[in-house]
Structure 1
Amino acid sequence: MTGFRVLFSVVIHHDFFQSGFCNDINVEPSRATLAQAKNSGIIFKPCLGGLLVLCDSEKIPILLLYIEDEGLIFDFYITSSTPYLSTYSSIPLLKDKGLLWLKHDPNQGDNVVNGIDKYQLHSSDWISDADYYSKDKITAYFELEALGFSSQAFMFISIKLNEQELNSLTADDVDSSGFVVFFAAINNKSSFWEYRLHGNNIKNSLEISDRDKGIEFNFISNELLSDGRNITVFRSNAEIKLKEFSECYFQLIDKRTNGHRVLIKRLPVAHFNHGYQEVVDTKLTQVSEIFVNF
């Protein structure tokens, strides 16, 4: 065995992005993990949505010694270069007293790595409130290091490997083009879409139609402005997921007794940062505002 091989990767998925991977993030090894890597022939390489962990095939015996001594643990923290990541995520990624901490530990009943190519780091389909730990607990684990980056990091990941797992990951018959992926998945935010139509000649026969027949829009109000223009408001009857590039196809039509005429073939879609919160059916809900002049 010679050269470097991928031991595993750590990847963050996000349903908002068209690629399915979380954009504008950095997955960084902790100081302790970097020190361990220097002594054991481990290197790190960025990949789409995360980080590759590669090992020197000739130094695998050193990794086994770590397992026998203090344990082979890889700790990572994830930061984002955009302030809007929580805005289009279904849960707030940063809390006042808690941070996300995802773990793989075969000694704690987690799935043992045994050839399956993907391992989810949380019990639910998506990251949830159950995956938060107190900042004090995380700071105690990462010691002084956590104090330095806690303001930027929104997630921590810890991967612990036992001897059986390491042998599985480094076996000679493992396909060099395939490797184990430890992943987390963030769900995107949903909102009610509210179209606010501005115009000088808005008719009562206007409707918003979904080409795919999945969403209906209810008339909410009609207001007359001081300049003579009207504002007519329609709101979706169900929440719609916010996407980087939405596939929703809503049309503004003028419905008449002798047929209907399409006024706007495809209405603009909601933007994750435009809107407000409102109580709908006793639940605090996000409403996305979409302004249309015609």
Structure 2
Amino acid sequence: MGSYVPLFRLAVAHDFFADGICRHLGFVAAGQTARAVRNAQLVIRNTDGGLGIFCDEDRLADLRSETGAQAIALSFIACSSDPHFVQYTAAPVADAQRLLVFDSRRAVPGEDGRGRLHAAECAGESDLQDVASPELAGIVDRAALLARPAFVVTFAVGDGDLRDVADYSLRFAARSSYWKYYIDGDLSSRELAIVDLDGREDFTQAGTERLRGRPSHVFRSGKAIPMQERHTQRFQLKERGTFGEKVVVKRLPNASVNRIGMETIDGKAALVSEMYIG
């Protein structure tokens, strides 16, 4: 038995997370890859935000014989165990008829020295393929689709020295939502404004809506704000009076992926994060 060497490594980034590492991903060998992994005794390691595949140097010939080709294609299905992954991911990961599909043979050079598996800065619409496409034949079946995969990735292992590790990367952008505050109770009768202490965001009063049978003032951000694992925004609720402004709520709650809706804003469907103050 020889020493185990890496065939490839994959690092998955996500703008939603504070450290930029995509959490809660798991990878499963798909189609003929599962058989090749068993027969060649590959070691699959799900890492924190990625995947590593390792092979015994002496068994590489066995791996090649499984495919009958000099270039070996290893395919993996990635799923997220986070039920909110769909909510905070900008890429279309909830499409029932299409899947995000990445292939190392289409990689482009990334700024970090890795092969980037998507042409654009982040994964998106251009990386979608129909689930019935020939490229996915033998990789994705009905059972796999029921697991709601996040994406499929294929790596081609060539004839080169296995010690020349192939490093690849994926990056997901975070979705953005308008922040909407409902000001309820006694506060709704006062002259109020929402102020960003960092001066980055503006809020406008968007009329009133009835909440629990009573009118509530509604404030909405001027633009959609990217979703984050831990928001750093510092919004205050202030009251405007004859003698200036007075702080009513020192730190308003930040948006959560648990409370997201859809509204029409400026004639377009938009995500809205709702928060209630009263």
Kindly report which structure 2 residues correspond to 1:1-294, keeping only aligned pairs within 5 A, or say none: 2-60=2-60, 69=69, 71-105=71-105, 110-111=107-108, 117-137=113-133, 141-142=137-138, 146-152=141-147, 153-163=149-159, 166-167=160-161, 169-171=162-164, 180-222=166-208, 230-293=215-278
The SS at the match of 2:120 is coil
What TM-score do you get using the length of structure 2 for normalisation? 0.87
1:204-248 CA-to-partner distances (Å, cap 9, x unmatched) read 431100011010100112467787x65111111111011111111
CA 1:201 to 1:92, structure 2 compared with 1: closer, same or farther past 3 Å? same
Shift of 1:48: 0.5
Contact residue 27 and residue 51 of structure 1 kept, 8 A: yes
Contact residue 41 and residue 55 of structure 2 kept, 8 A: yes
The SS at the match of 1:34 is helix
Shift of 1:25: 2.1
Contact residue 107 and residue 119 of structure 2 kept, 8 A: no
Shift of 1:119: 1.6
Shift of 1:8: 1.9
Query: How many pairs were matched up?
Result: 276
Shift of 1:100: 1.2
CA 1:131 to 1:226, structure 2 compared with 1: closer, same or farther past 3 Å? closer
Percent identity, aligned pairs only?
24
The SS at the match of 2:121 is coil
Shift of 1:92: 3.0
- Structure 1: state its 5+ residue gaps: 172-178
RMSD: 2.8
Shift of 1:268: 0.3
CA 1:29 to 1:11, structure 2 compared with 1: closer, same or farther past 3 Å? farther
The SS at the match of 2:143 is helix
Contact residue 138 and residue 146 of structure 1 kept, 8 A: no
Moved over 4 A (4+): 60-68, 109-113, 223-227
- Structure 2: state its 5+ residue gaps: none
CA 1:268 to 1:66, structure 2 compared with 1: closer, same or farther past 3 Å? same
Contact residue 108 and residue 116 of structure 2 kept, 8 A: no
